[in-house]
A and B are shown apart, each in its own frame.
Chain A
Amino acid sequence: QVQLKESGPGLVQPSQTLSLTCTVSGFSLTSYNVHWVRQPTGKGLEWMGVIWTGGSTDYNSALKSRLSISRDTSKSQVFLKMNSLQTEDIATYYCARDLAYWGQGVMVTVSS
């Protein structure tokens, strides 16, 4: 069945780079798009970006200068990298297939 699982460090130091991995199973990354969405604790959802089946990407313009999404189709993994992290980036980060199937999310804290 379709599964997505986010992984990565739960703690990142201010101004450092966040690196997350979304490992998928039950489908091919060349057939379905994968989005990243984040949610600060107790707040709403923010769409971050998407990697399309062909490998191209689109980003939220508010994050575009800091954000990069890539993939390794052979490993069924999608990667999110965001630099210059600040406390405003504290959130649960989700990956989702076409926004229809979601991972469980990974909580990221920014602190020294």
Chain B
Amino acid sequence: DIVMTQGALPNPVPSGESASITCRSSKSLVYKDGKTYLNWFLQRPGQSPQLLTYWTSTRASGVSERFSGSGSGTYFTLKISRVRAEDAGVYYCQQVREYPFTFGSGTKLEIK
């Protein structure tokens, strides 16, 4: 199975600042079609996960431009610009390159 390893954040992050979360995969997530199959989710307390980005950097419908995904191969980053209270929660990366579709262990974001 592909192992997804997420970095931690220096919590709490002051409101208005930027925060970057890293995610590393044990195998390249590039598929033969050229796309890189990496998703980012946010799970707010008590809520279901919300898809933020897919194919590494494509924002899901309705997601703020403050969220931007980047990366390639095995190293990925989710940047959250001008963090707000509503951004608090746990962020997960997930690879959908091959079965089973594995998640990282999550990165908690707290806002000050």
Contacts and interface: CB of A to CB of B under 8 A. Distances in A.
B48 A103 contact: yes
A45 B100 CA distance: 12
Contact of B49 (A58, A60, A62, A102): A102
Contacts of B101: 35, 47
A63 B49 CA distance: 22
Interface stretch (B15-23, B64-72, B102-110): B102-110
Contacts of A37: 49
Interface string B61-104: 10000000000000000000000000000001010100111111
Interface residues of B, number: 22
A100 B102 CA distance: 16
B66 to A, nearest CB: 19
Contacts of A105: 48
Given A61-B100, A100-B61, A47 B49 contact: no
A61 B105 contact: no
Contacts of A60: 99-100
Interface in A1-53: 35, 37, 44-47
B39 interface: yes
Interface in A89-108: 94, 96, 99-100, 102-105
A60 B102 CA distance: 9
B3 interface: no
Interface of B: 1, 39, 41, 43, 48-51, 54, 60-61, 92, 94, 96, 99-106
Interface of A: 35, 37, 44-47, 58-62, 94, 96, 99-100, 102-105
Going nearest first, the 10 A-B pairs with the smallest beta carbon separation are A60-B100, A102-B48, A47-B101, A45-B103, A100-B51, A44-B105, A44-B106, A58-B99, A47-B100, A99-B51
